[in-house]
Structure 1
Amino acid sequence: MIYLDYQATTPLAPEALKAMLPWLEQGHANPHSPHRAGRQARAAVEVARDQVAALLPSGGRVVFTSGATEALNWAIKGTGGGIVATAIEHAAVLDTAAATGRPLTVMPVDGEGQVLPGPIADGAGLIAAMLVNNEIGTVQPVAALAEQAHGAGALMLCDAVQGYGRVAIPDTVDLVAISAHKIHGPKGVGALWIRDGITLPPLLHGGDQEGGRSGTLSPALCAGFGAAARLMAARAEEDEAHVGRLWSLAVERLGSGWTLNGSPDHRYHGNLNVRREGLDVARLMSDCRDIAFSAGSACASGSGRPSHVLTALGLSDRDAKSSIRIGFGRYTTEAELMQAIDRIDTAARAQRL
């Protein structure tokens, strides 16, 4: 199997697994217990917290959560006033915003997936924008949106799940949601960064272990998250160069007949979303069943609906459903990517014969 679905999840880094194993094998103490074993587990959690915080703005605190979905729910439900979000946000933002019953304003994007900011409605309390889009890889002007939010008296929430450790997070944001399994860490743990001076009412009740967030933390998951974050920092330049080279090779190899979805310039290069006229994506995935790639967000797979991200760019339902997403990164080799691209392209062309 050639794995090219890095936006859905990334392979676990060996270093993250190594950091987790002692807490899975022997370190079973509750990190919130006062005895020595509990304090040792707590120390591991705090080391991980510092490692995760090192890739985030200063002047705030990291609160561990079960993942980015919980972090986004907490940030949105814990603030007041109207909500402003871009049209290409993840469902964890758009669905949560709709569920609050508060006024929701959706900012459109242009044909390359770049937000088109408009006047902020009176009474807005929160602006939410992705740093890097999970479907098309475009990078949003989060700093400019944060300035606009603060000018309107609102807070700025950044969904940095796809960009954390890869694209700098502006210092002016107020809330940041991140997830371990998108940076080669384990599934089941994420975090919400909260700027100093901001207090959110609890989303979960029953212990307040994290100072606003209840629930027993897993030292193993936290340690894995911390190790993955530390590795992202250490390998930042190497990973960026590797991904950039893979992107250039993949785009050149695909050749004519494929059209890029999203901005060619303002983007993270580990995400290649392309379309081909009349492509039957289900048939393509069946023909290339030993290659893991995607027809869009894993969270919306099987819905039968065209991607809301691609239709927001102005694509027709037909074009949106003729698009695929190829995601690659640190552990993708040039040889396997070229092999996969050739097979995908050959299978796509065969549909027209």
Structure 2
Amino acid sequence: MKYPIYLDYNATCPVDPRVLEAMLPYFTEHFGNAASRSHLLGWTAKDAVETAREQIAELLQASTKEIVFTSGATEANNLALKGVFESVFPQKNHIITVQTEHKAVLDVCLHLEKMGAETTFLQPDEFGSVTIEQIEEAIRPETFLISIMYANNEIGTIQEIEAIGTLAQKHKILFHSDATQAVGKVQIDVKAAKIDLLSLSGHKLYGPKGIGVLYINRNLKNQDLVAQMDGGKHERGFRSGTLNVPAIVGLGKACEIANAELLTESITLSKLRDCLEQGILSQIKGTKVNGNTNNRLPNLTNISFEGVDGELLLSSFRDIAVSSGSACTSASVEPSHVLKAIGVSDKLAYSSIRFSLGRFTNQEEIDFTIQYVKEVVETLRA
């Protein structure tokens, strides 16, 4: 086995070798600018981009014209929230979101509040879920956007996306979902879910870093979503800038692979995840799974360890690569905002570990991890 064993796939994934193989020619041989329409190199690049757009659209059950390339999900979230806000303000100014969203949504909402927006941050239950009743109760005449992530990055909870989409459509409110962790792990149909805007990032599904997508429902026009980057009218005017052709090709290939292997891979990962989870819970006392153990991502478990210093625990894991729910801000470590929102105490939040498995995880690594974690925890407790 190669150490450290990588169990932090929700942070980033290695590029799949098949993805890298598809990308390589576009760095040297087919290096043209996709916006160059006067020669073969430009045409080749443009064709490659359109092929990738088809591969991504197929995974989302969308149209190719609804795929807009960005530098990643953070930019896609910014474009979605800021772009819609600028199109409706001051007539409407209210956003509904959830306390457990990624900072790429929460921080945008806080920024927009300085511009005149108002945000309702819904309180999830102990499993990380929000109800349709909660959302409907929060709706006001000035509500213009509901932004709720498809699946949580720390605890894996999957929200009732189709029901939320139906509710939003009923009230004529746009629905945005940060699906960064869900794409490639669960089946997504943007039409069935009535999603207007959806964000994703390449490096979360075995593609390269620095490339993402904002799905924009074809019914939305430029006046409905104000571009945040000007300079060339690329991507139907929603996002200017020279396209990163090699990365786009890689993202397209990653989506094609995910589309073909999603079902079998999710079954394999859920079995490995359950094995890891049950092994830790049965062999280490004072452990608890955080979040929803029924409706969650197939590759993730978040476990609290009682009676252990969280920072010491994480630094003691030399042979496995995992992550804590904590986020570092201004050189001080704060407990995970996600775990705090679902009612986990600060003490337990500090000593919670996220194990996220992936395509290249195997049973031998899981067996080793169970025993390794047990030894480290018992040593620290002693």
2:126 partner amino acid: G
Equivalent residue number for residue 181 of structure 1: 203
1:311 partner amino acid: K
Q: Report the alpha carbon displacement of residue 168 of structure 1 after superposing the two structures with TM.
A: 2.8
- Per-residue CA deviations over 1:65-113 (Å, capped at 9, x if unaligned) read 0000000000001113311001110000010011112110111100011
Number of matched pairs: 353
Q: How does 1:138-149 map to 2 (within 5 A)?
A: 138-149=157-168
Q: How does 1:196-345 map to 2 (within 5 A)?
A: 196-199=218-221, 200-211=225-236, 212-254=238-280, 255=282, 256-296=285-325, 303-345=332-374
CA RMSD of aligned residues (A): 1.6
2:162 and 2:348 mapped to 1: Cα distance? Answer: 32
1:244 and 1:14 mapped to 2: Cα distance? Answer: 23
- SS of residue paired to 2:36: coil
Q: Report the alpha carbon displacement of residue 298 of structure 1 after superposing the two structures with TM.
A: 6.9
Q: Is the 8 A contact 2:326 2:335 kept in 1?
A: no
Q: Report the alpha carbon displacement of residue 296 of structure 1 after superposing the two structures with TM.
A: 2.1
Q: How does 1:97-136 map to 2 (within 5 A)?
A: 97-101=109-113, 102-116=117-131, 117-118=134-135, 119=137, 120-136=139-155
1:183 and 1:302 mapped to 2: Cα distance? Answer: 30
- SS of residue paired to 1:325: strand
2:220 partner amino acid: I
Equivalent residue number for residue 84 of structure 2: 79
Equivalent residue number for residue 52 of structure 1: 56
Q: Report the alpha carbon displacement of residue 297 of structure 1 after superposing the two structures with TM.
A: 6.6
Structure 1 residue 160 and structure 2 residue 179: aligned? yes
Q: Is the 8 A contact 1:158 1:173 kept in 2?
A: yes
Equivalent residue number for residue 63 of structure 1: 68
Percent of paired sites with the same residue: 39
2:251 and 2:27 mapped to 1: Cα distance? Answer: 14
Structure 1 residue 27 and structure 2 residue 30: aligned? yes
2:182 and 2:331 mapped to 1: Cα distance? Answer: 26
Equivalent residue number for residue 39 of structure 1: 43
Contiguous gaps of at least 5 residues in structure 2: 86-92
Q: Is the 8 A contact 2:145 2:174 kept in 1?
A: yes
Moved more, 251-260 or 100-109: 251-260
2:150 and 2:328 mapped to 1: Cα distance? Answer: 18
- SS of residue paired to 2:340: helix
Contiguous gaps of at least 5 residues in structure 1: none
Is the alpha carbon distance of 1:114 and 1:351 closer, same or farther for their aligned partners in structure 2, counting shifts above 3 Å? same
Equivalent residue number for residue 10 of structure 2: 7
1:216 partner amino acid: T
Is the alpha carbon distance of 1:133 and 1:186 closer, same or farther for their aligned partners in structure 2, counting shifts above 3 Å? same
Q: Is the 8 A contact 1:85 1:127 kept in 2?
A: yes
Is the alpha carbon distance of 1:17 and 1:304 closer, same or farther for their aligned partners in structure 2, counting shifts above 3 Å? same
Equivalent residue number for residue 88 of structure 2: none
Q: Report the alpha carbon displacement of residue 345 of structure 1 after superposing the two structures with TM.
A: 2.1
Q: Report the alpha carbon displacement of residue 279 of structure 1 after superposing the two structures with TM.
A: 2.0
Q: Is the 8 A contact 1:68 1:190 kept in 2?
A: yes
1:300 and 1:24 mapped to 2: Cα distance? Answer: 37
Moved more, 218-227 or 235-244: 235-244
- Per-residue CA deviations over 1:264-307 (Å, capped at 9, x if unaligned) read 10101211100011222221222222311000277879651111
1:61 partner amino acid: E
Q: Is the 8 A contact 2:327 2:335 kept in 1?
A: no
Q: Is the 8 A contact 1:134 1:297 kept in 2?
A: no
Q: Is the 8 A contact 2:328 2:334 kept in 1?
A: no
